[in-house]
Amino acid sequence: MLNKIKTDSKSGRSKNYLGVIALLFIGAVFGSVLVSSFGYVRPALADVQIGRETPPEINQNPELTNFNNSFVETAEKLTPSIVQITVITKDRGNPHKGFEFFFPFKEDIPRERQGGGSGVIISDDGYILTNNHVVENATEVTVRLIDKTKYEATVVGTDPLTDLAVIKINASDLPAAYLGDSDKLKVGQWVMAIGNPLSLSSTVTAGIVSALGRNVNIIEDSYGVENFIQTDAAINPGNSGGALVDLHGAVIGINSAIATNGMTGTYIGYGFAIPINIAKVVAEDLISSGKVLRGYIGVRIEEVDEDLAKAVGLDKPHGILIQQVMENGAASKEDIQDGDIIIDVDGKEMDRPNQLQSYVASKRAGDTITLNIYRDGDYIDRKITLKARDDDGTDTPVAKNDQKKKNKNNEVVEASFDDLGLTVRNLRSKEYDQFKVKNGVLITKVKRFSKSENQRLFADLIITEIDRIKIDSVSELEEVIDDNKGKAVLLKVVDQGGTSRFVGMEIPE
């Protein structure tokens, strides 16, 4: 009996062991299903692996790598030479157009607008090349460099006939761009546009030269010079005045216009740049004399078509027809006649009127050029000394004057600082308690788009300190501003609730 009991006990233990093993196996399987199906157990963050462990093996193409690096290096070298320009302009017009019955006599009210574009640094001492339409009628021009520093700029001169202008900032050791040779451009050549489109600073786009010598009729003057480089590199509002560069890092054009559907005003396929060879001559003249000393042949011209070519005996339609020799022009002094056909100038073939205008625009009054002319079946050469137009001129910026009001004791009680866009006056007795201040001057007006507005100053703020110096009167404020021209100062201002804050402000020279 005892033996039987012992035997039964061993058998029971064996069965228990088998049961435990079976349960463990079932539990492991069930747990695996739960983890894989429901994700109840997740790996630690350090254990997560994404992507490949090793890079894919790709045969490197040295030519492709060098080609890609050309874009990278060009962008790195040229971007610091491109600036962002912000302008304030005044125009006249009725802001209630279409509702004149309700708002009559508004046409002569000047309105301020803020706009901008881009520019190219062309000298290390602060000369910047841009478009005329960027700074035209500007009352204030501000330049922002790639390092975010800002400068007030003056307009050196403008040339509406090429849509070019030069402005100047008071700076040194600037990264001037290298200006190339636009005459060597070829259709199909890779180029990059660098500028500040749609207020997006330091933007680079790429494309090719899709055409040369384009005339798109955007300069509304019969003497306007249009010989644009056409490119499919994306150009948008704000790119104006920026650079079109080749992959050697040379600026070969100044971006000026875009093709648009007229509704969005944005890029739809291609843009236009002014050849840098024209821009260099214009910039040199504007910097040296404030105006362009452009020479003119003094003729009215037209393209030669197939019918005209056949009529005069040319073997193909080429050259430029002189429709009329202008009285007192340069051509009238030489043996140049109506009906002559200009085949080339200084050895350069001419097939389009804007091509001739562009070449002559790169010359100055007093320069001599040689025309090869087709007349009555013969080819003859004639030399012409270019002459300036009598009415060729440029715009000049208008000087600004600060305004002041004085009391009977000849003390300044109110003053306007136009460079800051700020008008202030002395506090009245009750205003000390109203603003909970013991000193200061009251801001009565802040000009729209001004430096003061940009620093979030507004009317009915009190300026109590400048650079920790307490201000008690307009005269004291004026004295501190005069002592800090060309420097940045720290203003302390207080609002009507007694809340104070500090504001940085750069005082123009």
96 is catalytic: no
Residue 227, token pair as written in the block: 């010989």
d(CA 447, CA 403): 14
* 203-252 tens-digit pLDDT: 899 999 999 988 877 776 667 778 888 998 888 878 888 999 999 999 99
Residue 410: band (very low, low, confident or very high) from pLDDT cuts 50, 70, 90:
low
Lowest mean pLDDT among 225-229, 256-260, 333-337, 501-505: 256-260
Q: Is the pLDDT of residue 494 over 80?
A: yes
- At 412 the pLDDT is 76
Sign for the pseudo-dihedral over CA of 149, 153, 156, 157: positive
Rg from Cα positions in the chain:
36
Q: Indicate the DSSP class of residue 179.
A: B
* 188-207 tens-digit pLDDT: 999 999 988 877 777 899 99
Q: Is the pLDDT of residue 181 over 70?
A: yes
| Alpha carbon separation from 141 to 22, 110, 149, 282 (Å, rounded) | 86, 18, 14, 20
Local structure of 219: helix, strand or coil: coil
* 428-458 tens-digit pLDDT: 888 888 888 999 999 999 988 788 888 889 9
CA 142 from chain centre, in angstroms, equals 12
Q: Per DSSP, which regions of 287-410 are E strands?
A: 299-303, 320-325, 341-345, 348-349, 368-375, 378-385, 403-406
Q: Is the pLDDT of residue 270 over 60?
A: yes
163 is catalytic: yes
* 88-139 tens-digit pLDDT: 987 655 444 444 343 344 444 556 788 889 999 999 999 999 999 999 888 8
Task: Give the residue with greater pLDDT, 1 vs 332.
Answer: 332
Segment 251-271 shows an average pLDDT of 72
Residues with Cβ < 8 Å from 7, sequence gap 6 or more? Answer: none
Half-sphere exposure of 65 (CA within 13 A, CB side): 5
d(CA 104, CA 125): 49
Amino acid identity of 239? N
Lowest mean pLDDT among 4-13, 371-380, 498-507: 4-13
Count of helices and strands (H, E) across the chain:
9, 26
240 is catalytic: yes
Q: Which of 81, 118, 159, 163 is catalytic?
A: 163
Residue 180's Cβ-count burial label (10 Å; 0-12, 13-18, 19+) is buried
Q: Is the pLDDT of residue 160 over 80?
A: yes
Q: Which of 133, 210, 285, 395 is catalytic?
A: 133
What is the crossing angle of helices 276-289 and 353-361, to 10°? 40
Q: Per DSSP, which regions of 122-250 are E strands?
A: 127-130, 138-144, 150-159, 164-169, 190-195, 203-214, 228-231, 243-246
Instruction: Answer for the pair 370, 343: CB distance below 8 angstroms, yes or no.
Output: no
Closest by CA position to 215, among listed 263, 256, 265: 256
- At 106 the pLDDT is 46
Lowest mean pLDDT among 219-233, 286-300, 476-490: 219-233
pTM comes to 0.67
State percent of the chain over pLDDT 70. Answer: 80
* 313-350 tens-digit pLDDT: 888 888 998 988 888 888 988 899 888 999 999 998 98
Q: Which of 81, 182, 210, 240 is catalytic?
A: 240
